[in-house]
Structure 1
Amino acid sequence: MPNPFYAKRIADAPLAFGARYVGTFLWTNGLAAALVLAALAARRLGRDRSIRALAAALLAAVGFVAWAGGDFMEYRLLVPAMPIGAILLARTAFSASAPLAITTFAVLAGASAARASRVPGFEPPLGVTTIAALRAHVLDPDVGWLRVGAALGDTVDHDPSVSVAVRPAGAIPFASDLTAIDMLGLNDVWIARHGTPVRYPEIRGGYRPGHAVTAPLDYLARSGVNLILAHPVVVPEAAPSPATILAKNRYFAALGFDAASARVLVVPLGNGLAVLAWYFTPSAQVDAVIARRGLRLAGPR
């Protein structure tokens, strides 16, 4: 099986989350009404094999996503089902009565307007990140992950002998050129199969797709990772007590971060901001950069 199968714990994924993921997609886009239209119109088409084939393909595509526990990004896994649904709707709409067709398309337009206007009840379920939020995570010019990766790379001279452990293991490794450990295991065979299970109490059922496991501290120690960012913590560059800040962060707390003994590197991002990194495994390269650039290193020496 592919690595994400294990990292996402698909075999243990709760059907309820996947059903909410699919159901919310159908509701917030008005597609539930479109399916009703297709079903009613299909009855009038009798034994049309093309309709049956389209319906079966759509059910299989949507059913698999629900069974697999859905996703944490806004409906990306349902994109393959959209052309099938569009063809089915177009194929059946002209066989429906005029009032039913007009009502259905009015519902579709209304749902689209409600989503665009961010009307309560038309947003993705808790645990699913919107496209706008994902864009901000990556591209925000001050605190986005590309900015964090570029600043981290610039700080350590883009030296691939320096390693970093991160949860968002795409933009940050790309922009930094550093050796990276994907703490969520999507790009790490060992973590995917042996990582520590993670529960999210704020999400019903405690499951979040793609975030089901994380790297245990002993694995990061065996890997000799130099800097642990986890989910980047961005603070004012002059913020007091960086170690205390990380100790209160859920991801560092889960790793057993000890504010009294840990060393925290303050990596400047510009505009008076910085990202905090747990300086975990000492490195001559990192030590030299700290001395040369006069970087702030909080904690015991």
Structure 2
Amino acid sequence: MHQLSLWGLQTWPASIIFDTPIAFYNLTCGVCICRNLKKLGRKMDSFCFAHHRFPFLFLATLYVQTISFCFCSSDGVPGSLRSACREDERQVLLRFRHDLADPSGRLSSWIGYDCCQWRGISCNNLTGHVVKMDLSNTYCQHDYLEWDEVAYRRSLLKGKLNPSFLTLTHLDYLDLSCNDFELPLFIGQLKSLRYLNLSSFSSSQGVIPESIGNLSSLKTLDLSSNYFDGIPIPQFFGQLKSLQYLDLSYALREEIPPHLGNLSNLSYLDLSANFWLTLTSTNMNWLSQLSSLKYLSLQYVDLSNTGVS
């Protein structure tokens, strides 16, 4: 038999008050309600402690109200205060899914009204805005010796981003890695993006949209494992002044442009495994301008003309 003691109340056997596990859970979650509402800046002392004099009223109130009110999560926000998915953004995601081929059914959970519960989707707890979309294909993490090309092809999401995607104005994390999408030119209008991963990205357009240079808040950009054959790094890279992480491994065949030296906040730069690059002491002058750089990888890059052994 469970014993309950709330804020100095007389200790009562739980079975006397409630006779179901869900009722007991809702009762104990009452503590969570008051604690977390105070975290949110609400003055709940009068509510929580006024019931010292009316223990049965307090417990009965919890039983009736908290059954839909107090599903407390690890981030400290009770369920009733958590905003559900916004309908306009849900419709955008449904249109996006409609335009995709999904042979393995990775997006089969994209049903129902609360898109915040869909696979790969995360929302702001208080506003309900979609802030994160992680559709990365984990099959690309398979060991090479276990690679199955048929299974890989089946795991891909293939299609395009509908222009209605621009409705997701609060999206700050977008991972489309290891899929086969058409990369739209309008992606640079998602001004809230701070994280963008397009690694192992089979874009049928074969270009890096210049509009990415408009993502002034972008901190992480991963374009690795793409092999942009004959495509120079666009000038826009020099505009990404907030960028801290840049991965261009297995991606380049052209000369590295000096405008990378404008990325004064860059702390991580991976240029490894660009086998066709030939660096010289002249075309590496831009490195000295990266004052925040803490990690640099040039593994498997030809450095024979740089004087570096």
Where on the TM-score scale, by shorter chain, does this alignment land: which range? under 0.3
Which of the pair has the greater relative contact order for Cα pairs under 8 Å at 6+ separation? 1
What TM-score do the two structures reach when normalised by structure 1?
0.23
| Larger Rg, first or second structure (1 or 2) | 2
Structure (1 or 2) with the greater helix fraction: 1
